[in-house]
Amino acid sequence: MAVVAAGLADVAEVWSFSGRDLDWTGVRPMPSSVPERRFRADPQPSPYRSAAMLSHIRQFGAPDILCVLGLAVEEDILLACARSIRIYNSIDAPALRVPDRISRHFDIVLTGSAAQSAEVLRCHPDMIVDILPIGPEFASPLTFRPLNLTPIYDVIYVAAAQPYKRHGMLFDALDRLPRQIRALCVIGYGEMAETLRQDATARGLNIDFIGPPGVSHDAVNTLMNLARMGVVCGVDDGAPAILTEYMLAGLPVLANAGLCCGLQYICDQTGRTSTEADFHQGILDMLADVSRFSPRETVIANWAWPHSVQRLAGLIQHARAKRGDAQNGGAL
């Protein structure tokens, strides 16, 4: 949506893979108004291949910009898009979750930290690399915003119920705090949801749970507005989008000081970091005066998508100049 709004592309689609056990492939509308086109994946593990996607590219042409997230795609799909500006976004702690034979075909790699960028350049010294993680850099100030609600929770944690999100760090901190400190865990998906509920009950923690399944972006925004601060507890995690989403909703953030990617969004105006041993004290210190933070204003001034898309435009221009490609605009 940002790329289209900035005039870097005329239209955009989200492409995804469907498993063999799913009933349909095709196009469907998404809440963001960007349509999703699903292609049946071939029977192989990631990185994924899809004869249906290849057929579509050959029939209708490759997009002008192809942005690949996470586990990525097989080499033949990237080769079919050889004329596209091919972007890889590191969404996990490992900078590249594809082998060199695949990552060598990307024109641009977006990372979440200086360490990730250094790792990409070690593998591909000529790669165009920038710290511009799509999640936190392209959060929408319209989707996540203050609603002037009266908070009923002290802390909110929006995270998948999976081990790398490290809910235990929050639970241990709450276990050391007075029981009147009230928390809300919002879980979109994950296999640990019931285990987390049982753990909180066994400890007698003052935590409410919502999900899975997940709720809409509007509902998440409303739930954020019912809390006074947000937390991020992971270590081996790509730059979580929730960092700036909390902030745009008006919440300062306490983040694990060991977080691999995304600590650049934590500053005096947006929150604090804390070690696992002192996480409980970090919560108390921030709750003592949350009004001293200005998270939304800071994100809008520095990282909201109008800033980020201009940086992305410069990277795309660099990539086109590097390959001698004069094309402008097109499809994403």
Q: How many angstroms separate the CA atoms of 48 and 103, rounded?
A: 14
User: Of 300, 235, 228, 293, nearest to 262 (Cα)?
Assistant: 235
pLDDT one-digit tens code per residue, 81-120 = 999 999 999 888 899 988 999 999 999 999 999 999 999 9
Share of the chain above pLDDT 90, in %: 81
Contacts of 179 (CB under 8 A, 6+ apart): 204, 205, 206
pLDDT confidence bin for 330, thresholds 50/70/90: low
274 SS3 class? strand
Residue found under tokens 């800071």: 298
pLDDT one-digit tens code per residue, 138-187 = 999 999 999 999 999 999 999 999 999 999 999 999 999 999 999 999 99
Paired with 210 in beta bridges are 186
Residue 26 has pLDDT above 70, yes or no: no
Q: How many angstroms separate the CA atoms of 230 and 24, rounded?
A: 38
- Identify the H or E element spanning 38: strand 36-40
Structure tokens at 35: 């349509």
pLDDT confidence bin for 22, thresholds 50/70/90: very low
User: Of 271, 261, 268, nearest to 239 (Cα)?
Assistant: 261
User: How many angstroms separate the Cα of 24 from the Cα of each of 37, 38, 43?
Assistant: 11, 8, 16
Angle at 98 between CA 97 and CA 103, to 5 degrees: 120
Residue 42 or 128, more confident: 128
pLDDT confidence bin for 44, thresholds 50/70/90: confident
Strands lying side by side in the sheet with 26-28:
14-18, 36-40, 26-28
Q: Pairing mode, if any, of strands 36-40 and 207-210?
A: unpaired
Q: How many angstroms separate the CA atoms of 86 and 320, rounded?
A: 11
Q: Pairing mode, if any, of strands 85-89 and 108-111?
A: parallel
Q: How many angstroms separate the CA atoms of 156 and 232, rounded?
A: 9
Structure tokens at 168: 């235990």
The pTM for the full model equals: 0.90
pLDDT, mean over the chain: 92
Structure tokens at 127: 């790669």
Contacts of 159 (CB under 8 A, 6+ apart): 165, 167, 185, 186, 187, 232, 233, 234, 240, 242
pLDDT one-digit tens code per residue, 256-304 = 999 999 999 999 999 999 999 999 999 999 999 999 999 999 999 999 9
